[in-house]
Amino acid sequence: MMDQTMLRPPKKRGVFSPVLIEMTIIILFFALSTSVVIRLIAVASTTARQSAYESQAILAMESVAEQVKANPVGDGFCNECGARVFSVEVTDTLSVDCVVTSDDSPLQGTLYDIELTVTSPEGNVYALDAARYVPDAEEAP
Amino acid sequence: MKTHPSHMGVGTSSILFILVVVSLTLFASLALIQARSDAALTQKTSVSTAAYYDADVRAQSMLIALDDALKLGEAPDSVDGVAKQADGSYAFSVGSSDGHALRVSVDVSSGRCQILGYLYENAEEWVDQSTGTLWQGG
């Protein structure tokens, strides 16, 4: 005797494939671990970029310092404060700002104080101070 | 149509995933270590450059003091740190914070300082150390 329930197709049991479960877990863990790894790489990149810029800035400041020490008077143009202010552009993102002030208090010459600064695009300031004493006899033509 | 069963069993993708994650983590860690050692080296360079220019500024001040003393008719030895050498010249040394010293020698016979030597050198003594585990040859 067949009734209504016997005519219905048998229900399929909800069985997930083990491979599908494994892949789902893997994708989740991969997403998590990738976020950590990307953060590590980002920190490494930032550190490397900053140290490369600092290295370039130091070399540029040393170079400008030696140039100014070789000829502290330069073109002789000073601002109203008596300081020679100029900027040396090394690259598009790196320029060395230089302030040269002269001090005539020594009895036999002039002391030139050289202040160099580089400001990075991130706002870090690198500074270097140098000085050059030029005896009067050296300044005479 | 005949279907071919997959040979990839459960766990194969996990092994592959572990290998990929370990490799990524290793490379990222190596990149970070390299970047940090580069930054440390740059910092050392920065410190030694600042130390040199600091010593240079102090040496220039010493030269001014020497010149001023000569102008006032005082003996060069009266300036602190200046000593007369065997050859009649005068010399002084300015220490820097990174273990170097700027040694300056000047001639004052003309009534003002003329620099004879301006050397920035290591001020620390060489210390004999045991060779330890180094291969001695033979």
In a domain, B94, yes or no: yes
For residue A107, the chain B residues in CB contact (below 8 A) are: 67-68, 71-72
Q: Which amino acid is at A136?
A: D
Helix (H) or strand (E) holding A33, with range, is helix A18-70
For residue A130, the chain B residues in CB contact (below 8 A) are: 53, 56-57
Phi, psi of A127 (to 5 degrees): -130, 150
Query: What's residue B119's pLDDT?
Result: 94
In a domain, B127, yes or no: no
In a domain, B6, yes or no: no
- Of all residues in chain B, the one with the smallest CA distance to A41 is B28
Give dist(CA B100, CA B103) in Å, integer. Answer: 10
In a domain, B50, yes or no: yes
3-state secondary structure of B65: helix
In a domain, B133, yes or no: no
CA distance A11 to chain B (A): 26
Helix (H) or strand (E) holding B73, with range, is none
Domains of chain A in sequence order? 17-139 (2.20.25.110)
Whether the Cβ atoms of residue B76 and residue B113 lie closer than 8 Å to each other: no
CA distance B137 to chain A (A): 41
Query: What's residue B46's pLDDT?
Result: 95
ipTM for the predicted complex comes to 0.78
Whether the Cβ atoms of residue B82 and residue B100 lie closer than 8 Å to each other: no
Whether the Cβ atoms of residue B81 and residue B93 lie closer than 8 Å to each other: yes
For residue A61, the chain B residues in CB contact (below 8 A) are: 49
Phi, psi of A78 (to 5 degrees): -120, 155
Query: What's residue A119's pLDDT?
Result: 93
Boundaries of domain holding B83: 18-122
At A94-136, the pLDDT tens digits run: 999 999 999 989 998 999 999 999 999 988 899 999 999 998 8
More confident: A15 or A94: A94
pTM: 0.79
Looking at the complex, does the CB of residue A124 fall below 8 Å from at least one CB of chain B? no
Bridge partners (DSSP) listed for residue A112:
A102, A132
In a domain, B91, yes or no: yes
Query: Total structural domains in chain B?
Result: 1
Per-residue pLDDT of chain B (138 residues; tens, 9 = 90+): 555 555 667 788 788 888 999 999 999 999 999 999 999 999 999 999 999 999 999 999 999 999 999 999 998 888 999 999 999 999 999 999 888 999 999 999 888 889 999 999 998 877 777 767 778 776
For residue B50, the chain A residues in CB contact (below 8 A) are: 128
Nearest Cα residue to A70 out of A130, A127, A128, A116: A130
Percent of chain A with pLDDT over 70: 86
Chain A interface, best mutation among B30, B57, B120, by max A CB count within 10 A: B57
